[in-house]
Amino acid sequence: MINIHDKTFVPFIPNATIEGRISELAALITKDYEDHCPVFLVVLNGAFLFASELVKRVGLSCEITFIRFSSYSKTESTGEVKEIMGLDQDLTDRDVIIIEDIIDTGLTMSALVKKVHALSPKSVEIATLLHKPDALKTPVSMRYTGFEIENKFVVGYGLDYDGIGRNLDCLYVLA
Ligand code: IMP
């Protein structure tokens, strides 16, 4: 059990389970993109740990670039998607794999997918560590999903509660 700010979180998914699943996703991506050189587009801040564990297991020549969005205030979605740091990579005719920590309402991802499609890529797929199907407010199609979870707030492995918890090496859920 851990306390962050005013809330208590309990252990949810252990590190070995997370990293075992990341290895499986990396193997799928390596197979699916054989003879291709994809661009991984990492959504900061939350996806930094998932992305680093995923890309180092992918046996492909690839490029990695970053974008930063903000859509959350404490533990509730603001419903507003704000871009903070833009795309600076040419994605024309490239196979893009977006790496996200969690798809909750789907608003962030659907805004990002639209933006990426406008840049004329060859293909766009999504790899997300977590997905809360019951929270989805707009359709998002994910090719690679680590874990489908209940609609509960989680921290750890890159995800924070009001700035804290990103460095935890496993996932915790609100008690
Ligand atoms: P969406 O736009 O509602 O899908 O939210 C996407 C972003 O909200 C994610 O990239 C996370 O940064 C944040 N988020 C959503 N659910 C959680 C959670 O359970 N814990 C921490 N952050 C979350």
- The string of pLDDT tens digits covering residues 29-39 is 999 999 999 99
10 Å CB burial of residue 165 (0-12, 13-18, 19+) is: buried
Percentage of the chain exceeding pLDDT 90? 84
Give the CATH number of the domain where residue 66 resides: 3.40.50.2020
Indicate if ligand 1 lies below 6 Å from the C-beta of 71: yes
Q: Which residues of 24-60 are buried (b: 16+ CB within 10 A; e: fewer)?
A: ebbeebeeebeeeebbbbbbbbbbbbbbebbbebbeb
Indicate if ligand 1 lies below 6 Å from the C-beta of 128: no
Adjacent-strand bridge partners of 155: 172
Q: Which amino acid is at 116?
A: V
134 is catalytic: no
3-state SS, 4-59, equals: ECCEEEEEEECHHHHHHHHHHHHHHHHHHCCCCCCEEEEEECCCHHHHHHHHCCCC
CA of 34 to the centre of ligand 1 (A): 31
How far, in Å, CA of 16 to CA of 12, rounded? Answer: 12
Q: Give me the domain span that covers residue 121.
A: 15-151
Q: How many domains is the chain built from? A: 1
CA of 72 to the centre of ligand 1 (A): 7
Structural domain contains residue 157: no
The model's pTM: 0.94
Indicate if ligand 1 lies below 6 Å from the C-beta of 153: yes
| Mean pLDDT for the stretch of residues 12-24 | 98
How far, in Å, CA of 141 to CA of 160, rounded? Answer: 24
Catalytic one of 93, 104, 160, 162: 104
CA distances from 78 to 60, 71, 73, 75, 104 (A): 37, 6, 6, 9, 12
Indicate if ligand 1 lies below 6 Å from the C-beta of 48: no
The answer to whether the CB of 85 falls within 8 A of the CB of 71 is no
Structural domain contains residue 175: no
Structural domain contains residue 161: no
- The string of pLDDT tens digits covering residues 30-68 is 999 999 999 999 999 999 999 999 999 999 999 999 998
